[in-house]
């Protein structure tokens, strides 16, 4: 990319994006930021610093990770309920260490883990391989994607419903040092959305967009009532038992799954040495 370039193509909709400012990332890279005229997406220049940014897949400054996962698990319960698919299967895309998948399975949700870059520490044995699911979740992932439209397309091949979280940019674009979500200390956030960006992505895929206008967004074919979703989310965030009591926790069945696997492995080992 020409270092003096003042226009580039939007990585969401392909329209012209204008240079808006430079921002320092990881204390050493001076990065150009662009804003799309059409969909309002803000993107960095081609991110050449990601290898440095991902030396740790989860950043030490992310102190809210556990509380957020607890909240997200309850949000997934509420969303499955609203989609009339409480027993439905879920793929947690970019699932990190597997915290959310384990929490969901504890509630009784048939959740599987997927992540190209992170180790699965807490949901080992429950990796997604292939096939359809009722819901794909992608929490705090889209702001990391170089090509968000393509990523959404591939998630919609797994499920007609995609629930994601990303903080939306204010109408008045904040300066680089005035919004924490630019994430200059870790350098992993390279694209920032507005409601109209997400609407564009929904239109590209023939989907409806349901958004709380701030952090959580659902692409779906179904007619989801925003207020019903909001009220259910709020209720379930305080009282997850309202919904989870309709499910059977997988804590014990998952334990048995591994115990039986251990026994089978030992029996196989004994068979091999019995000659």
Cβ closest to Zn ion, residue 38 vs residue 254? 38
Q: Is 34 in the site for Zn ion (CB under 5 A)?
A: no
Q: Whole-number minimum distance, CB 174 to Zn ion, in Å?
A: 18
Pair type for strands 42-44 and 29-36:
antiparallel
Among 13, 94, 104, 169, binds Zn ion (CB under 5 A): 13
Can residue 198 be called a binding residue for Zn ion (CB under 5 A)? no
Name residues contacting Zn ion, limited to 37-96 (CB under 5 A).
38-39, 41
Task: Bin 22: left if φ > 0, else alpha if -120 < ψ < 50, else beta.
Answer: beta
Which residues are within 8 A (CB) of 215 and not within 5 positions of it... i.e. 6 or more apart? Answer: 165, 166, 167, 168
Nearer to Zn ion, 95 or 148 (CB): 148
Provide, rounded to whole angstroms, the least separation between the CB of residue 255 and Zn ion.
48
Q: Are 12 and 39 in contact (CB under 8 A)?
A: yes
Q: How far is the CB of 14 from Zn ion (least distance, A)?
A: 7
Q: Exactly one of 8, 25, 31, 36 binds Zn ion (CB under 5 A); which one?
A: 36
With both helix axes pointing from N to C terminus, report the angle between 65-82 and 226-238 in degrees, rounded to the nearest 10.
Answer: 130
If the CB atoms of residues 12 and 162 are measured against Zn ion, the closer one turns out to be 12
Stretch that binds Zn ion, among 12-20, 78-86, 107-115, 224-232 (CB under 5 A): 12-20
Asked if residues 144 and 151 have their Cβ atoms less than 8 Å apart, the reply is: no
The maximal CA–CA distance of the chain, rounded, in angstroms, is 76
If we measure between CA atoms, which residue out of 224, 239, 264, 262 comes closest to residue 79? 224
User: Near Zn ion by CB under 5 A, which window of 4-12, 49-57, 119-127, 129-137?
Assistant: 4-12
Q: Which residues sit at the interface with Zn ion, rule CB under 5 A?
A: 10, 12-13, 15, 36, 38-39, 41
């Amino acid at each position: 990319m020409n270092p003096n370039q003042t226009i580039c193509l939007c990585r969401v909709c392909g329209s012209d994006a204008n240079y808006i400012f430079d921002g320092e990332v990881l204390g050493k890279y001076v990065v150009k930021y662009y804003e799309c005229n059409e969909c309002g997406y803000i993107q960095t220049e081609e991110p050449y610093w990601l290898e440095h940014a991902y030396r740790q897949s989860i950043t030490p400054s992310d102190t809210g990770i556990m509380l957020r996962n607890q909240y997200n698990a309850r949000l997934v319960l509420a969303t499955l309920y609203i989609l009339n698919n409480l027993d439905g299967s879920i793929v947690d895309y970019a699932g990190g260490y597997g915290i959310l998948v384990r929490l969901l399975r504890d509630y009784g949700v048939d959740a599987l883990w997927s992540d190209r870059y992170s180790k699965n520490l807490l949901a080992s044995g429950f990796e997604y391989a292939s096939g359809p699911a009722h819901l794909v979740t992608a929490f705090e992932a889209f702001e990391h994607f170089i090509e968000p439209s393509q990523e959404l397309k591939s998630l919609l091949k797994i499920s007609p419903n995609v629930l994601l979280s990303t903080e939306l940019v204010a109408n008045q674009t904040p300066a680089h040092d005035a919004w924490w979500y630019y994430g200059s200390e870790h350098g992993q956030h390279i694209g920032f959305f507005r409601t109209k960006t997400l609407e564009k992505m929904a239109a590209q895929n023939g989907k409806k967009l349901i958004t709380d206008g701030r952090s959580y967004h659902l692409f779906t074919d179904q007619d989801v009532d925003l207020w019903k979703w909001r009220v259910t989310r709020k209720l379930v965030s305080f009282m997850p038992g309202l919904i989870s009591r309709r499910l059977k926790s997988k804590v014990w069945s998952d334990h048995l799954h591994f115990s039986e696997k251990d026994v089978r492995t030992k029996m196989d080992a004994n068979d091999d040495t019995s000659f």
